[in-house]
Amino acid sequence: MSDALDREYSPSHYARDVAATLARQAAMGRQVVERHAPCRLGYGDDPLARLDLFVPRGDGPWPLMAFIHGGYWQELDHTATDFLAERYLARGMAFASLGYGLAPATSIETMGEQCARGLAEARTALDARGGVDAVTLGGHSAGAQLACRVADEAGKDIDALLLVSGVYDLTPLVDTYVNVPLSLDPAQARALSPLFGELTGLPPSRVLIAEHDSPAFRRQGRDFVSALNAAGGRAELVDLPDCDHFDILDHL
């Protein structure tokens, strides 16, 4: 392993105060749950394959934002993004925070399948409450990679992607500390990389990077947008100032 490569793919090395940011976002999420009691749903046997569905007041149908948390496929759970719900509710949108099993117990392939089931459960539950309008699927960091996998399978069922400080090429991770619980070989890492997948079927995408993301994450975002547009897709790169890999979610 390379110390330099480890630093490049260590978002906390470039962030200002990771612990404080995550603690603040978690506290905000608990407050949102108190104010807007979500529908809590599970899918499958894994206790982490769960979601919170927040539904606006009034009559549907509603647009849906479904969001997949980060954590390098090995940390956090769906509640990490509950704090985002209130801003979407204020726009008349439903919000679903999607969870999945974590490495090493769960493979990235299975995580993607769980997120796809979670999105389907959210759609079904929202449809029963008044209907579903346009669906946006979002993901942060590792969650952006999972969102691309779900969108690749779901096709026209997803209207747009919101990808935040994502990992789109997993091959450099093979030689970093990140791979210890993942145990990916180079071929697996390439097969799981959205950058090398079928890009033409992905929906229109907004790809966000943070000013204080690591150089590797910033490069990955730029390269992915270039590849999407070169493949005939529609992708917009948004470079957000004065934020890092973690507090970028405060600026969506």
CA 139, 225, 246, 250 dihedral sign is negative
Query: What pLDDT sits at residue 156?
Result: 74
What number of residues does the chain have?
Answer: 252
Is the pLDDT score of 153 beyond 90?
Answer: no
Q: What is the mean pLDDT of the chain?
A: 96
Residue among 156, 125, 152, 144 at smallest CA distance from 62: 125
Separation between Cα atoms, residue 23 and residue 154, nearest integer Å: 33
Query: What pLDDT sits at residue 1?
Result: 59
Q: What global pTM score does this model have?
A: 0.97
Across the range 147-171, mean pLDDT stands at 93
Is the pLDDT score of 133 beyond 90?
Answer: yes
Across the range 6-29, mean pLDDT stands at 95
Query: What pLDDT sits at residue 155?
Result: 67
List the beta bridge partners of residue 240: 210
Residue range 166-209, pLDDT digits in tens: 999 999 999 999 999 999 999 999 999 999 998 998 999 999 99
- Is domain 3-251 classified as CATH 3.30.300.10? no
Across the range 160-168, mean pLDDT stands at 98
Across the range 224-237, mean pLDDT stands at 96
Which residue ranges make up each domain of the chain?
Answer: 3-251
Separation between Cα atoms, residue 158 and residue 119, nearest integer Å: 10
Across the range 122-141, mean pLDDT stands at 96
Separation between Cα atoms, residue 123 and residue 2, nearest integer Å: 43
Across the range 224-232, mean pLDDT stands at 97
Name 225's Cβ contacts closer than 8 Å, sequence gap at least 6: 205, 207, 235, 236, 237
